[in-house]
Structure 1
Amino acid sequence: MATQAKHFNYLLIGGGMAADQAAAGIRSIDQNGTIAILSADVDEPYARPALSKKLWVDETFQESDTDFKTAEKQNVEIHLQTTVTKIDPAAHQVETAAGTTYAYDKLLLATGVKANTLPNLPNSDLIVALRSKADYRKIRAFSGQQKQVLVVGNGYIGSEIAAGLIQSDTQVSYVIDTPHLFDKKFPANLSQQLEEKYQQAGVKFYPSKRATAVKIPDHRVILTLDDGTELAGDGLVLGLGSHSDYRLAQTASLKLDKNGVIVNKNLQTSDPDIYAAGDLISYPDPILGQTKSEHVMHATKSGFAAGQNMAGQTTAYNYTPYFYSWVFDVSWEAIGTIRTDLTMYQEKLGVKGNLTYYFDQNDTLQGILKWNAKVNLNHLRNLLSQHPQLTELKKVLPLTQVD
């Protein structure tokens, strides 16, 4: 006799920040409906950005401080180490890898992204593609006490963990595949300024290099680069970006495009009872058009809005997210498209601050980078939404072209 599926009014697939906020969004409308989170993680929802930032540079901030306490605060049933493998929209059921079936009235897809890695890696806790709190614990185990850690990847995670480790009594060798740090996003003067912060802290750079092989003899990591250089360390951290896995959405025959799972302004997928939020969605941004975003503010804001919509309130998701990072004494935020193949102009603000404006081939504003500057992001959103021409901005702003 088949076991009857456990039923929930709201079933949230994914145990990250989007799911936490979706539960909060539901509870802001419906205090009594049953909610369950099915998460492949070993930990309940937590503040993911702290894994590469605050936990490494603030001694008063502990791992337990990252916990959201979602189950307690939102009256949610959380099932950890639970991987959903199939969605049956007609039956309003999902199936897990363990063969367990759950039934739902409304379903949320918020599975986030998976960290990219290198091919043919040895299976070892000394190699970490940082994504989860469990990954953070592994890095803690092989860092500190002047141990040598190798970091690969010229992106948010790689740059932040390299900065965090060097400030946590750890020696750092940092491999990037470009001549300079963030040189495909930042103009040369800012890329150089940022790179100097790392060098002054003691980070050793290996620019324009790629990792080709990894070995682990005698509990040490040996990393081979494409020029034959071999680097030895007590551990290896990979910050090579991430990717979404759409196979679960495909089991439900949800519509996808090049950006991900297509949702409307209410974060509803092509199935009216299935919603989606966070990194895996393709959504209609009011400023940027149909797009995707893989950042924490998008995850939390879209998660909350999706939860409210699932609970019956019509909430349009109209938040244009921004990207941010802070390392050493540099804090930057960006909105829109920032790429160095666009035309760039800077506006100086104070002694250390500036705004960089990015224009396309038609001289239309595409993105803005805020660097050590106290400027309201809503002001920048409003400016970007107007899609001004370079000639217009030159009339009102002291702009200097940069490379």
Structure 2
Amino acid sequence: MRDYYDYLIVGGGPAADGAARGIRSVDEHGSIGIVGDDVDPPYDRPKLSKDLWNDPEASFSDIWLDTEQATDAQVLTKTVVTAIDTRAHTVHSERGHAIGYGKLLLATGGHPRTVPSLPAGDRTIYFRTAADYRRLVDVAARRGHIAVVGASFIGTEIAASLSTAGCSVTLIFPNETIGDRAYPESVREQIEKSFSDHGVDLKRGVRVDGGSVGEQSVSLSLSDGAEVTADVVVLGLGIAPSVELAERAGIAVDDGIVVDSQLRTSADDVFAAGDVANYPDAILGRRRVEHIDNAGEMGQTAGANLAGSPNDYLHTPYFWSDIFDSGYEAVGDLDASKPMVEVDKPDGGKVVYYRDGDGIRGVLLWNLFGSTDDALAVMAEDSRLTDDDLRDRI
């Protein structure tokens, strides 16, 4: 690595890749450095729990974003940045290396939430990285008993994928049904039936209070007093935004690093993007989003802004998930405590609108694909839409 970059990016995920491309759309020659703690250069994270398990034509080589080749950025992996001196425009790594910058982007993402008594190891995988995927593929090849903790996007996708791969799977989650905070009952019933039909053992309404790791197995102690023993446990408990570096530098944080509409932080010449950024969404107001569509698009805007082409970030991101033979795309907030309008489609798909006051806060497209732009158009409308108005909108 050099001692100085015109543009320095801390974090090596999809937001960093998007930012490097955004910089190059404005500045063809400025030097770009990317410093990340991952062992790999930027890659497409969703493929790790989706395509690589479900698409027979998908290859591990498909995950790479080829950031260096596309942008001439220098990427330094396996490097932890420990401090930022915003006055001196310098960052410091744990290796003792100081790197100066003209403009800085924090794309530090998040780190998995953990169970203290279950440290990451050969038999406990907090699934998030390409390295985690490589380990889990080896485990799945042995087709043993795997306990999956958490029924989030990652948890449900991994549980379904491992079951399809021939493993015996136990899915443990604290809710009474999968997705009860996000989906209507009709969708939840379909999801749980698909897991039951594929032989997945569902442990509902319980938490993992602790556990122990042995040489041959892992034992989990559940909140109802039961124990589950498995060959390996995969934990998908969500992430916490990685704000510690920003906090130490005196940069404003509040459920992420706080940015304005142009993704600037409270420090001069420092921007933030991706999972870690708390930003003002053009439709939904201030929020933080943990999805790759947001990371890539926000990274692109941040990169262009770093290079001197100021743009407001106006993109409201979408997200998607695949579970066995079903899947969905969605935009906005899927909050099942809100009034919902369900519209069944002739081909078996379903549109679910989530109301919030006079507007639509979120749209779920269950087994219906390619309509996220239409969903965003509905959410952007100011006038109140009746249930009948919604039935033919998508």
TM-score (structure 2 length as normaliser): 0.95
CA drift of 1:241 comes to: 0.8
- Match 2:386 to one of 380, 389, 393: 393
Asked if 1:44 corresponds to 2:37, the answer is no
- Match 2:376 to one of 371, 378, 381: 381
Matches within 5 A, 1:2-401: 6-122=3-119, 124-257=121-254, 259-360=255-356, 362=357, 364-374=359-369, 376-389=371-384, 392-398=385-391
Structure 2 contact 329–368 (Cα < 8 Å) conserved: no
Unaligned runs of 5+ in 1: none
SS at match of 1:15: coil
How far apart, in 2, do the equivalents of 1:219 and 1:52 lie?
25
Which digits, 9 at most, give the CA deviation of each residue in 1:137-194, with x for residues without a partner?
Answer: 2212222342111101021110110011111121111111111111111011100101
How far apart, in 1, do the equivalents of 2:252 and 2:100 lie?
22
How far apart, in 2, do the equivalents of 1:36 and 1:338 lie?
37
How far apart, in 1, do the equivalents of 2:108 and 2:331 lie?
24
Count of aligned residue pairs for this structure pair: 392
SS at match of 1:335: strand
Q: Which moved more, 1:86-95 or 1:27-36?
A: 27-36
SS at match of 1:143: helix
How far apart, in 2, do the equivalents of 1:253 and 1:142 lie?
43
SS at match of 1:193: helix
How far apart, in 2, do the equivalents of 1:309 and 1:123 lie?
38
Q: What is the one-letter code of the residue matched to 1:291? A: R
Structure 1 contact 267–306 (Cα < 8 Å) conserved: yes
Q: Structure 1 residues 102 and 345 mapped into 2: Cα distance closer, same or farther (>3 Å)? A: same
CA drift of 1:122 comes to: 4.3
How far apart, in 2, do the equivalents of 1:52 and 1:379 lie?
27
Q: What is the one-letter code of the residue matched to 2:93? A: T
How big is the alpha-carbon RMSD for the aligned residues of Structure 1 and Structure 2?
Answer: 1.8
Q: Which moved more, 1:372-381 or 1:28-37?
A: 372-381
Structure 1 contact 122–214 (Cα < 8 Å) conserved: no
SS at match of 1:302: helix
CA drift of 1:363 comes to: 5.3
Structure 1 contact 338–368 (Cα < 8 Å) conserved: yes
How far apart, in 1, do the equivalents of 2:391 and 2:241 lie?
41
Q: What is the one-letter code of the residue matched to 1:379? A: D
Q: What is the one-letter code of the residue matched to 1:133? A: A
How far apart, in 2, do the equivalents of 1:31 and 1:397 lie?
46
Q: Which moved more, 1:144-153 or 1:126-135?
A: 144-153
Which digits, 9 at most, give the CA deviation of each residue in 1:12-58, with x for residues without a partner?
Answer: 00000000111111111212111111010000111100111111122
Q: Structure 1 residues 183 and 123 mapped into 2: Cα distance closer, same or farther (>3 Å)? A: closer
CA drift of 1:245 comes to: 2.3
Q: Which moved more, 1:380-389 or 1:337-346?
A: 380-389
How far apart, in 2, do the equivalents of 1:374 and 1:79 lie?
37
Structure 1 contact 38–79 (Cα < 8 Å) conserved: yes
Unaligned runs of 5+ in 2: none
Structure 1 contact 366–387 (Cα < 8 Å) conserved: no
